[in-house]
């Protein structure tokens, strides 16, 4: 059966439109690559239409029209019985709906399924209110899409109720949700992602400023996973909704087979390990690095989602650096011990943070520290604690993102219970008007801190984003979001009127 798989373009906006040319986030969709691989393994014919690439970005002023035209062309050419659309994060949901509508208006008999964090969080609301969406995959999608395609191919509507982690409308229009978990315990049973179904040249970006101690020529970069899920319980994180809590690892042989394939066949030598817990199992990460070194694969890699510092020892950092680690993101979350450990649940001591920061400097790995500000317990004093910690560890760069209470998290429940939203969110319609990661204004009103003070701290943090930049000799000015914290501060009266 022909299946069309779509990933939306992520439309970011900046103060200066020329900064759009500096974007570095065009990874091929891992979700589509894995779904296509499992479909092909089961003798179906998948086609990938991944719009989050440099080609679409060059036409960004009319990207939606361009994407719709490509969808129609593929519908005419392939005549798929199913279109699967990835909605990994909430901010792309409006475009996902537009794609679903164009499919239904052009090919009414074609079924539309969507998956990702947002649909997983709101399957009932989406299927109740969006007739253009037929199915929602809840959590991991590989087993679900294979079962769904089989049901569609055999025209067996009654078998839909047997698909785990899945939501649909029955013949009477009633929404049915099967929440039985459908996680893949043995990730080595999955085929390698279908890299041959995409053109990596479409994702090419200017990366000559990347820290590259081995002086490799970087043309392409690829996202890769060595494991899935995270057993920790940070109060702000909603990734467990999709991946669960059980940490599942691929074998080091399988991981390095994929790296070697991409390196030799497609010229990829920059990899981003997108694991939520890359180093949770120290033996596994050491074995992985040893296998890369054993095969003499010359690569550079980074860790965008952040490393769990408690898992890092000097020998681990040394081995990762030897295998190609150039940039390590450190998931510290907060400089205040109480907020970091008792509120967030990080169980991370200050001494461990200092130790890891020191090892990264020793092995010449560029460091990026990840912090979150604006928790309900935030105060001027706790913000100062974060600044003091930054000054002490002196990372090459750091980010202080705003705390967002995503549905399904402990933080969300707390903010709802204590009515801490800065403005009046329609909680019944978060499926339609969601909170997104790229907020430009604070969402949570702390118990004992003003919004004015929060904004002042945000401006202060941003002003010193790369104050301690040393490892990479090429220092690059950070991108400026469309609404900077200073602009938000100047317009604070708008926010205050919504309290």
CATH number of residue 446's parent domain = 3.80.30.20
* Per-residue model confidence as pLDDT tens digits over 371-400: 999 999 999 999 999 999 999 999 999 999
Query: 331 is in which domain, residue-wise?
Result: 228-496
The answer for residues whose C-beta is within 8 angstroms of residue 351's C-beta and 6 or more apart is none
309 and 456 together in one domain: yes
Question: What does residue 4 show for φ and ψ, rounded to 5 degrees?
Answer: -100, 125
161 and 239 together in one domain: no
Q: For helices 350-362 and 380-393, give the axis angle rounded to 10 degrees.
A: 30
* Per-residue model confidence as pLDDT tens digits over 89-137: 898 999 999 999 999 999 999 999 999 999 999 999 999 999 999 999 9
In a domain, 410, yes or no: yes
242 and 377 together in one domain: yes
Give the pLDDT mean for 2-26.
80
In a domain, 415, yes or no: yes
456 and 388 together in one domain: yes
138 and 253 together in one domain: no
In a domain, 23, yes or no: yes
395 and 477 together in one domain: yes
In a domain, 457, yes or no: yes
18 and 140 together in one domain: yes
240 and 368 together in one domain: yes
235 and 160 together in one domain: no
**Structural element, H or E, at residue 50:** strand 45-50
Pair of tokens at residue 67: 């994407």
Give the pLDDT mean for 169-188.
94
In a domain, 362, yes or no: yes
| Cα–Cα dist 373/389, whole Å | 14
167 and 260 together in one domain: no
CATH number of residue 31's parent domain = 3.40.50.280
The answer for residues whose C-beta is within 8 angstroms of residue 451's C-beta and 6 or more apart is 422, 442, 445, 492, 495, 496
Read off the DSSP letter of residue 429: G
| Cα–Cα dist 373/45, whole Å | 46
In a domain, 208, yes or no: no
How many domains does the chain contain in total? 2
* Per-residue model confidence as pLDDT tens digits over 195-249: 999 999 999 888 888 999 989 989 899 999 999 999 999 999 999 999 999 999 9
380 and 254 together in one domain: yes
More confident residue, 110 or 14: 110
The structure tokens 């309900």 sit at 376
More confident residue, 48 or 484: 48
151 and 265 together in one domain: no
Are 276 and 309 within 8 A, CB to CB?
Answer: no
Are 51 and 98 within 8 A, CB to CB?
Answer: no
pLDDT greater than 70 at residue 498: no
* Per-residue model confidence as pLDDT tens digits over 250-290: 999 999 999 999 999 999 999 999 999 999 999 999 999 99
What is the maximum span of the chain, computed from C-alpha positions, in angstroms?
A: 65
14 confidence band (pLDDT: 50, 70, 90): low
């Amino acid at each position: 059966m022909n299946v069309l798989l779509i990933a939306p373009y992520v439309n970011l906006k900046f103060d200066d439109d020329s900064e759009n040319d500096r974007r570095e986030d065009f990874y091929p969709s891992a979700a589509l690559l894995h779904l296509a691989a499992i479909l092909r393994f089961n003798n179906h014919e998948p086609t990938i239409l991944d719009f989050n690439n440099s080609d679409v970005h060059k036409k960004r002023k009319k990207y939606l029209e361009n994407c719709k035209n490509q969808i129609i062309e593929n519908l005419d050419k392939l005549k798929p019985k199913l279109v699967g659309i990835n909605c990994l994060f909430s901010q792309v949901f409006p475009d996902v709906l537009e794609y679903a509508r164009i499919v239904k208006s052009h090919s009414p008999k074609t079924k539309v399924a969507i998956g990702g964090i947002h649909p997983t969080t709101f399957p009932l609301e989406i299927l109740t209110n969006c007739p253009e969406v037929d199915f929602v995959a809840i959590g991991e999608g590989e087993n679900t899409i294979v079962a769904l395609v089989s049901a569609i191919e055999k025209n067996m509507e009654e078998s839909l109720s047997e698909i785990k982690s899945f939501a649909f409308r029955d013949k009477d229009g009633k929404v049915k949700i099967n929440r039985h978990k459908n996680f893949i315990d043995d990730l080595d049973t999955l085929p390698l992602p279908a890299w041959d179904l995409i053109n990596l040249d479409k994702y090419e970006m200017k990366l000559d400023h990347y820290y590259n101690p081995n002086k490799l020529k970087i043309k392409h970069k690829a996202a890769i996973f060595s494991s899935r899920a995270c057993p920790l319980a940070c109060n702000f994180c909603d990734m467990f909704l999709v991946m669960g809590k059980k940490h599942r690892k691929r074998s080091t042989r399988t991981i390095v087979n994929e790296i070697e394939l991409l390196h030799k066949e497609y010229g990829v030598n920059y990899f981003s390990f997108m694991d939520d817990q890359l180093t949770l199992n120290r033996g596994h990460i050491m074995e992985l690095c040893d296998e890369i070194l054993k095969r003499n694969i010359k690569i550079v890699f980074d860790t965008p989602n952040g490393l769990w510092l408690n898992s890092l020892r000097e020998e681990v950092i040394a081995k990762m650096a030897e295998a190609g680690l150039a940039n390590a993101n450190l998931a510290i979350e907060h400089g205040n011990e109480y907020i970091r450990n008792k509120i967030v649940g990080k169980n991370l001591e200050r001494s461990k943070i200092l130790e890891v920061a020191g090892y990264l400097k020793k092995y010449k790995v560029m460091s990026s520290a990840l912090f979150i500000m604006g928790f309900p317990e935030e105060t001027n004093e706790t913000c100062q604690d974060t600044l003091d910690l930054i000054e002490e560890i002196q990372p090459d760069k750091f980010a202080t993102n705003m705390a967002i209470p995503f549905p399904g998290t402990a933080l969300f429940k707390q903010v709802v219970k204590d009515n801490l939203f800065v403005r009046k969110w329609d909680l019944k319609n978060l499926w339609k008007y969601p909170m997104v990661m790229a907020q430009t204004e604070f969402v949570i009103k702390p118990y004992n801190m003003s919004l004015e003070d929060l904004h002042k701290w945000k401006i202060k943090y941003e002003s010193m984003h790369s104050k301690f930049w040393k490892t990479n000799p090429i220092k690059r000015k950070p991108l400026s979001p469309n609404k900077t914290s200073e602009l938000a501060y100047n317009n604070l009266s708008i926010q205050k009127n919504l309290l």
